[in-house]
Structure 1
């Protein structure tokens, strides 16, 4: 792997890390606030509203923000025309969002929050659109700063509305709405969107191309919503809103793992597009894939080792039981991360159909298993369904993307590591000091499995840093 490749990937990873870890650091300290001020039922309700908002945005905007990002990365892209299409989709979202009111009217627990759900979805559409435009222009530092601003505003206004004014659910949602609009305004200034609006240029041919790319991603977004979020709605319906509040906390823990790997996958997409057609493209992809496996397995093993101790002090006492669902969800998020990496091939080749078919397969498995397992096992059934659906998506994408490049996944050390993670997941249920000691020993074994890979990663990073320092001096 050439040094320039490494530097480009490392630079982008560092920039995305700035935004992601900054936001996660702030969010990390918000969970104790939520779990100590909101009851499990209230937290279950706000989680359900944010879950609905996530699926509404791609429906209301036809997912054009993804097309704005991808088309802006093309050589000789006309950025004014691209963002003009994006702005048109936002006006569509404002009017189409009216469908939220009759829908929420039929859901008893959401009826009084209809206006908040509408404003949450519209504000999220605005922030996502202009943040995607920053990514498309490769203004990645400004994009990361935008994410930090968004999370900082969420924290600031949540403290104000929940602690100072005791606004409960409405205060929680209002904090997100204001934060989203503030972020959208920042991204518009940072991306020079106002200048593009002065030179508004509508290109019907470009609109058709972008819609053709993005429209397929709408059902794909819905399928991913099913895998990521529908289980919480089904837990609410079948078990209760309080159970969903606990499960939602458990769901947040694996996102610590996904936030680390999401940073890498975001940066990797730029490198993959840049390397398309290179003579050693397949070897390069396999090298990066192997390093990603090392990172996710070690992070997952570490999370399982500290999980029960961590939750005992991190969340309110009534949420501590959430640890039971975390080992299954952590394993599921490993496959989600690896599946996202593999799907970069779809982005490179603008194969949105690959996203759709793989997402549909995972969503179908998720729904079937949710209906089968939640009535029998409660929230644990939802966790198992989520993990299984992520595995199906990963497996499908590995097979389907062979038409672009082949990844060699069946390596002995990866198989040993996967087996060890399953053993760790079972060990977590030995709820005594012996079980904790075993978790520590299993984590040490994981380090031994990947000790050579860790050394290679360390030397690669230090080499790049030394070269950078030489150039600066």
Structure 2
């Protein structure tokens, strides 16, 4: 048992290193991209990335979770191999269908998506990248299942690193457009594909069991709506911005959202550790009280993290280049939504303990509709602020519903009203800070905003909650 615990700890540390490493590479590349690409061109890249994200969702179709279930459900090596082949060929079949559609209707899709049929080459490159990455992802997923953790970490970081290096080289010496980045990405992913190709040969043997494939798809299909909902909430606003305004607004909004992921450097480690930790202690007598302290502690940490982002952003945003300066005003609010995207995983503990996770899928399905309606209503009038508000409101609604459902399943003695007041007070203070920065008012007003939040925390007496013993 001790050996298993040590392996879990070692693997968790390696995956945490991988997670932070890939995020840091993406964060470092952001100012490189924005200094080479003006907002219009960066907006094109963002739209292609969101298009690729949507296609990736279609290709995966919930088969990652399904393969994990069936792979560990059998000890038969041949049966495991059969499941992996079925998933591999299902994904490649979807890639083939998508490639066919792009070959036939590429210029029309480019015109609708990017308002320019001449960008069709970007669609071709994205499909080619999806092909090589689809094979790579399946191979790495099986390595993860077989606990070959070091190789997973090395190849994942190598893939991101090669993508970054080649994208930079293409931008600097060959093509100063989104096409340069996409070609660099294809080359980087392609090299990792070639390195993993010997390992993938056994999964590419043309031998499909349609009975097993049916099992996999039957398991996977119910997971698809939740994945689609997450995609809509995260990405739909960019397409509405493109439709109602311009690619320039898309570029500025995406630069802000990418920079807002700085908050995940604080939350990603907790996110990876939370599920096994919470599951391991859920049946202990004092666990609900401990969870209440964790809920409040993480919320307060997030609140002051977002406040700090709002305060420093006008100085940090300069790394993106002068064309993106005004993106600073959106970053803190998007960071708040990004934090809520993490926080719902914490406060939904009761739903996982009692196997009532369907409530999460239903909630995000409803919230995706709410988000879409808000985008349609707010973006035409308020442009980027409409997209930002839609994103934040969507995750606020999701957290409220999920917390209520989780409390019904597994009660944690924590005040919803107190948490809501703390979060809303922070949002009000962040809006005030942004207003002061936009109007170039005295910096003492920013200190006043901080004092307001600190006073709210003090008055709420969360110190009593942390000292509570029963």
Both structures adopt the same fold (TM-score exceeding 0.5)? yes
Alignment match of 2:362 (pick from 348, 357, 374): 357
Question: Cα distance, 1:121 vs. partner?
Answer: 3.0
| Runs (5+) with no aligned partner, structure 2 | none
Query: Would the alpha carbon gap of residues 278 and 31 (structure 1) be closer, same or farther in structure 2, given more than 3 Å must change?
Result: same
Decide whether the 8 Å contact of 2:59 with 2:94 is kept in 1. yes
Name the structure 2 match of 1:462: none
Match of 1:425 in 2: 430
Distance 1:33 1:94, change over 3 A: same
1:419-443 deviations in Å (ceiling 9; x for gaps): 4411332222112675644445655
2-side partners of 1:125 and 1:181: how far apart?
11
Q: Which residue does the alignment assign to 1:52?
A: 51
Give 1:161 shift. Answer: 0.7
Q: Paired residue for 1:296?
A: 302
Determine which of 117, 123, 128 is the counterpart of 2:126.
117
Q: Is the 8 A contact 2:233 2:394 kept in 1?
A: yes
**CA shift in 2, pair 1:419/1:282, >3 Å:** same
- CA-to-partner distance for each residue in 1:58-81, whole Å, 9 max, x for gaps? 212323123334555669696434
Note the alpha carbon deviations across 1:12-51, whole angstroms, 9 max, x for none: 6543331122122222221222112112111111100010
CA contact (8 A) 1:48 1:233 kept: yes
**Which residue number in structure 1 is paired with residue 33 of structure 2?**
34
TM alignment of 1:156-235, pairs within 5 A: 156-184=165-193, 207-235=213-241
Q: Structure 1 pair 234/181, CA: closer, same or farther in 2 (3 Å)?
A: same
Give unpaired runs (5+ residues) of structure 1: 457-473
Q: How far apart are residue 405 of structure 1 and its match?
A: 2.9
The whole-number CA distance in structure 1 between the counterparts of 2:362 and 2:17 is 33
Cα displacement (A) at 1:136: 3.7
Cα RMSD over matched residues? 3.8
2:86 counterpart residue number: 85
Pick from 265, 268, 274 the counterpart of residue 271 of structure 2: 265
Sort the Cα spacing of 1:104 and 1:274 in 2 relative to 1 into closer, same or farther, 3 A.
farther
Compute the TM-score of the two structures, normalised by the length of structure 1: 0.80
- Aligned mates of 1:411, 1:9 — CA distance in 2: 34
CA distance in structure 1 between the partners assigned to 2:443 and 2:352 by the alignment: 42
Displacement of 1:278 after TM fit? 6.9
Distance 2:398 2:252 in 1: 26
Structure ID, larger Rg: 2
In structure 2, what is the equivalent of residue 251 of structure 1? 257
**Preserved CA contact (<8 Å) 2:307 2:332:** no
1:133, 1:350 → 2: CA distance? 26
- Give the direction of change, closer, same or farther, for the CA distance of 1:142–1:323 in structure 2 (3 Å limit): same
TM-score with structure 2 setting the length: 0.81
Query: Deviation string for 1:175-224 (max 9, x for gaps)?
Result: 222333444556677xx6556668x9866665444323322222322221
CA change 1:95–1:193 in 2 (3 A) is closer
1:95 aligns with 2:96: yes
Residue in 2 that maps onto 1:460: none
Counterparts in 2 of 1:208 and 1:299: CA distance versus 1, 3 Å: farther
Q: Name the counterpart of 1:336.
A: 341
Distance 1:320 1:266, change over 3 A: same
- How far has the Cα of 1:7 moved from its partner? 8.4
